Structure 1
Amino acid sequence: MDFALASPLGGLLGWPINAMIDSQVTFGGLWMRCHRVLLIVPGIVWGLLLHCAPVSLAQERPTILAGHGTLSGSILPLWVGAEAKLFERHGLQVKPIYLPRAAGRPALLSDDIQIYFSAGPPLVQMRLGGADVVVTSCVVHKLTSKIMVTPAIQKVADLRGKVLAVANPGSASDFAAKLFLARQGMKPGQDISLIYSGSTSAAFAALVNGRVQAIFATSPNDLQAAQAGFKPLLELGDLNIPYAGNCSAAMRPYMTKQPARMRSFVAGITEAIAYIRRRPSEAKGILQKYTRVSDPSILQHAYDSDTRYMEPVPRPTSEGTKTILENLGVSGRTAEQFVTEFNNDEFIKQITDEGLLKQIYPSGVPALR
């Protein structure tokens, strides 16, 4: 049974004796550890002697700056991890920073950011260029996007002689276009014209004004194109081409120096994926905040499109990295060695061994939607 503390302080705050003994209480903004001697006469509490020593406040959580180069649903796990304070559950603060037009790569190299959340191709190119970049998670394991075309184009062969727009050299859309065309036996500049528009929104504008006849689109540009009278020619996700998408990368020296922070970041991203699946309304609210899209139909489309291929466990895969290397002309033993040095799944293994996956997926790891 709990008793009210029989003292002026106890009467004021209404603390029970049992809760006071060997406990920590907050008073005057400081944590106080209280050691007390309690003298009890039958039925009467005579007094309480308190000896209190201040205990230092918890140290501020370390902070990671995480850059990303697009404002789309592909970044949702990073945004959700920050907004829902999932990183903080693992003792880390993460601040997402929008760095457009490939500004994330030099920022990562100069340590202005500690994590770059990006599609795989730019990260692979950084590594091939000599940067000691390591990928610790990849949310998407297959190539995804839609080819949106003018109504006159009925089949893939009709793309010959047409103009196709992608965002920037080395971008995810550039990689997807070149890989797809190569597998269809088409060469840019010979069978089809490939132009760089500068952004996905600019590519969509070029399609609308008739400068191009096809674009590689992701949400919400694919929906906007459909509403403008254009049609999807192909959904690349249906082809099951291995890929490394929505990856988190760090410089190896930072990863080696701060393994606890890297583990916390990967844990937060993994929890964010489960949160997105479990709480779609909250996830769409966060998506709206960062993309500033308020149309419910567009938000729903973006949510559906970007979660369709979102892996429950964001483990980097050798197959996805090899697809990117293949498109860049790297294969064989060189590719194998590259994958060994580039992909790092130690933190995924660590959180698995710690039981995090069982906590967030108590019924077992789900399949893709």
Structure 2
Amino acid sequence: MVLTACGGGEETTAPDTPTDEPTAPEETGTDADDGQDTTELTDVSFSAVPSMTSIGLHVANDLGYFEEEGIRAEIVDFDSGAASEQAMLTGEVDYGAGGVVSTLLMEAAGEDVTNLVLFQSKPIFSFVVRSDLAGEIAGLEDLEGRTVGISSPGSLTDFFARLSLHEVGLDPDSDVDLVATGGTSGHVAALQAEQVDVQLTWEPGTTQITEVTGVGEMLVDLRTDEAPGVVGELIGSSLQALNSTIEEDPELAEAIVRAVVKADNAIAEDPSVLADALETHLFSDLPREQIERIAEIESASFRPSITEDEIQAWVDAYMELGFLEEPIEPSAVLDDRFADLWQ
């Protein structure tokens, strides 16, 4: 079984790569004769999928942390994790935000990619059950003979659905029917049409389903300690780069890590920081009250540190379900030279 690497938007088939090259911002810095700051900023581009996976980049930018480190950041959005990662691999952008697990899959494909600093320590997904079935389905162990919605075969939702079912003693291939429902708007539609009994979704899908439409209720929230077994040990998203990019300018890489650490810590200390970024960049159509509830849940998992044991947990889980053919050494995808900055 082959799993497509995904950063956060859960699309597994990359769309055509955008043909328009990102336009570099104009140089800042002013004439010394004007008595103003003449410090030149270094342009750095980041690939991202508009989702919780990359919101830490926006926080670092919005709060001026990148600029404090001498960086002018350009965050380039892509429609899928695969397209975002491809942009980083081809040099279209310098760094990328994506799922830690994606680096394992890229490493397995022969790409020399590493994780520099963590964004979130938990998955972004939640199982929601159709409201009319909430009385019959109280937990994942009740899903035998049921239909479960995932975004698409080979996606991260496919993996998390399979692993979660495996952890409660169910065979995802024979005990349930996994149904592809696309992105979050498709999740709402699939539940409304009774195409699925349970849907594995992510924000804003979780809130749209459980609060806006009321078509579903929370069953198991993988963002919390409700996650079954080893699922709760799997870390989420990170800042990533080709090793060659880091080696070209290690001091720049260190400055980027410092900015991200500041963003992680700011979010963890004050969920309103995350709420502000979500309102500006992702969920402008949601009421502020709902955005704040999302931020309260998601902010608890933001931290910068990554350990080899945490990456090993991903390797073990992927090997268990056949998503990796050969084991990968965690050190192959973890650059810990900046570990002192994670504290």
TM-score class, shorter: 0.7 to 0.9
Aligned-residue offset at 1:115? 1.4
Instruction: Work out whether residues 141 and 165 of structure 2, in 8 Å CA contact, stay in contact via their aligned partners in 1.
Output: no
Structure 1 residues 294 and 90, CA, compared in 2 at 3 Å: closer, same or farther? same
Q: 1:243 aligned to 2:234?
A: yes
Show the counterpart of 1:293: 285
- Of residues 200, 209, 219, the one that matches 2:184 is 200
Cα distance in structure 1, aligned partners of 2:310 and 2:157: 16
Structure 1 residues 267 and 172, CA, compared in 2 at 3 Å: closer, same or farther? farther
Show the counterpart of 2:315: 325
Aligned-residue offset at 1:78? 1.0
Show the counterpart of 2:305: 315
Structure 2 spans left out of the alignment, 5+ residues? 1-29
Show the counterpart of 1:103: 83
Show the counterpart of 2:32: 31
Question: What secondary structure sits across from 1:216 in the alignment?
Answer: strand
Show the counterpart of 2:245: 254
Instruction: Work out whether residues 161 and 193 of structure 1, in 8 Å CA contact, stay in contact via their aligned partners in 2.
Output: yes
TM-score under structure 1 normalisation?
A: 0.73
What root-mean-square deviation, in Å, do the aligned CA atoms of Structure 1 and Structure 2 show? 2.6
Question: What secondary structure sits across from 1:189 in the alignment?
Answer: coil
Show the counterpart of 2:197: 213
Show the counterpart of 1:263: 254
Structure 1 residues 290 and 107, CA, compared in 2 at 3 Å: closer, same or farther? same
Structure 1 residues 99 and 194, CA, compared in 2 at 3 Å: closer, same or farther? same
Cα distance in structure 1, aligned partners of 2:288 and 2:98: 26
Show the counterpart of 2:107: 127
Cα distance in structure 2, aligned partners of 1:177 and 1:204: 17
Question: What secondary structure sits across from 1:328 in the alignment?
Answer: helix
Aligned-residue offset at 1:266? 1.0
Paired residues in the alignment total 297
Structure 1 spans left out of the alignment, 5+ residues? 1-28, 33-53, 358-369
After TM superposition, where is structure 1 displaced by more than 6 Å over at least 4 residues in a row?
54-57
Aligned-residue offset at 1:278? 4.7
Aligned-residue offset at 1:177? 1.3
Show the counterpart of 2:58: 79
Cα distance in structure 2, aligned partners of 1:143 and 1:242: 9
Cα distance in structure 2, aligned partners of 1:100 and 1:66: 14
Please show how residues 324-343 of structure 1 align to structure 2 within 5 Å.
324-329=314-319, 335=327, 338-343=329-334
Structure 1 residues 92 and 207, CA, compared in 2 at 3 Å: closer, same or farther? same
Show the counterpart of 2:10: none
Instruction: Work out whether residues 220 and 301 of structure 1, in 8 Å CA contact, stay in contact via their aligned partners in 2.
Output: no
TM-score under structure 2 normalisation?
A: 0.78
Cα distance in structure 1, aligned partners of 2:148 and 2:38: 55
Show the counterpart of 2:129: 149
